[in-house]
Structure 1
Amino acid sequence: MKVKEVADLVGISVRTLHHYDEIGLLTPEQTTESGYRIYSENDLERLQQILFFKELDFSLKKIKEIIDSPSFNQAEALEMHRKMLLDKRRRINTMIGTIDKTLKYKKGEIVMSNQEKFAGFDFSHNPYEQEARERWGDKAVNKSNAKLNSFTKAEKKEFEETFHAIYRKLAEVRHEDPASEIAQERIAEWYQFLNRIGTYSLEAFKGLGQLYVDDERFTKNIDQYGNGLAVFMRDAMTAYADNLQ
């Protein structure tokens, strides 16, 4: 199949397929004398694997590393995809249920506890851990994980409740000036909270804020607390770091 045919079949752009070729993620087995890329059945199977990993928020760099590994097994990968997607579906179904309940709560049809308002949000397993390892190194991530794992059940519950509370408080002031006194007070709480489980310099804190906007996965999760919260946090974290440096 030619590149345009593959793009139409899969529903992605020709430009994306060209990019995959350029970075060595998916290089067609054949190229015609005229320079047209010809994708084989093996190429399509590799593309399927790539898109399954991408759906699970793996970076292109990590996908290439996994698929090109001598130990990579396609059948095992598909079983893993299935397991992870089922888990993702369960979480999505729970969150849809939370939305439905919230709509009824807004109409005054039901009473909803604070715990019910956040059913489906799960931050106990970080889906972006690999990216964090690549950006800040294993030592920092392992230290954070060790700290979290040392918590008692009660401490973990308190940690999660504090996490949600900080995000809700930030969402309340997201329309204020990020450099305002109230915004800086609340972003300071986030900085102090992060340093409970790790060691974040002001520069790292500032870089983390930029990641919230640069990576749409972070933006999507953060903005669930309030549209535009990720951008607000980025700007508030930048102002906080600049003021103290």
Structure 2
Amino acid sequence: MSYSVGQVSGFAGITVRALHHYDRTGLLTPSERSPAGYRLYSDADLARLQQILFYRELGFSLDEIGAILQDPQANALDHLRARHRLLVEQIDKLRRLVEVAEHAMEVQQTGVELTPQERFEVFGEITFDLSYATEAHLKWQDSEGHRRSMARAAAHTKEDWRQIMAEAADWRKRLIAAFDADEAADGDLATGLAEEHRAHVSRWFTPCPPEMHRRIADEYVADARGFALVVPASEQRPGLAAYLHAAIHANADRRAAD
């Protein structure tokens, strides 16, 4: 039995335009033509279409599908296993994004509400990268310090944030001045600034012992997105993240020696 393009489009749930595209690319060429020259699909064509739609639903590209169907020796199971791994990874990523979104909603419900203008006035160029937030949340979600920090951040008022950012801006200005003046990272000035930063984290977010401060510093050199939360891109200099990292570690060493 043969079926017209319109009939196949109707019961397969695919557009006529897509069927024509499959025909032009050779992915699915109708086996027959009517006396008037119209495309007609056989049962074998429909079986092939079913395979195409199955692979499309799994996210394979048309080129990938063509390669699978063209090679009779192709091991479809290998392709399916690879796609299964990818889908599992995507599901995990989406699950993580859901967790972050839920956490963000909690913060939004309990934290300070700011208009876009107020947000710029308070935070300036400091921006929060969602992908970095996702990774950081997953990395530290089992940490009591991380949970405490998120809870305290959510509880801060707009005036709290104004003070937090003002303190951070003043500290940042002095850090950059020390770096530009070639002050030694393990000297009194730089380590004093590192200790100020540790105290700032403890005062506003979570108790920050020297070892935790080391881990925070490690993040600054490992991921530029983390350092951008401390020094916005417009104020950064090459080597500044490494300088702060060295100062924090030197300060932690001093504290351990006391």
Do the aligned residues in 2 keep the contact of 1:211 with 1:218 (CA within 8 Å)? yes
What are the equivalent positions in structure 2 for 1:1-245 lying under 5 Å apart?
65-67=92-94, 119-122=124-127, 128-138=132-142, 139-174=144-179, 175-196=182-203, 197-219=205-227, 222=231, 224=233, 225-227=235-237, 228-245=239-256
Runs (4+) of structure 1 moved beyond 4 Å? 28-35, 61-64
User: Residues 192, 66 of structure 1: CA spacing in aligned structure 2 closer, same or farther, 3 A cutoff?
Assistant: same
User: Residues 126, 243 of structure 1: CA spacing in aligned structure 2 closer, same or farther, 3 A cutoff?
Assistant: farther
Give unpaired runs (5+ residues) of structure 1: 1-25, 48-60, 73-90, 96-114
1:66 shift after superposition: 2.2
Higher RCO (CA 8 Å, separation ≥ 6 residues): 2
How many residues align? The count is: 156
1:217 shift after superposition: 2.3
Distance in 2 (CA, whole Å) between partners of 1:199 and 1:62 is 35
User: Residues 244, 126 of structure 1: CA spacing in aligned structure 2 closer, same or farther, 3 A cutoff?
Assistant: farther
Distance in 2 (CA, whole Å) between partners of 1:169 and 1:39 is 57
Residue type of the alignment partner of 2:255: L
SS at the partner of 1:177? coil
Do the aligned residues in 2 keep the contact of 1:223 with 1:230 (CA within 8 Å)? no
Do the aligned residues in 2 keep the contact of 1:188 with 1:240 (CA within 8 Å)? yes
Do the aligned residues in 1 keep the contact of 2:219 with 2:226 (CA within 8 Å)? yes
Distance in 1 (CA, whole Å) between partners of 2:160 and 2:219 is 28
Give unpaired runs (5+ residues) of structure 2: 1-59, 99-115
Residue by residue, what CA displacement relative to the aligned partner does 1:32-89 show, whole Å, maximum 9, x if unpaired?
8799xx999xx7xx89xxxxxxxxxxxxx9866125x6xx9xxxxxxxxxxxxxxxxx
1:122 shift after superposition: 3.4
Do the aligned residues in 2 keep the contact of 1:178 with 1:232 (CA within 8 Å)? yes
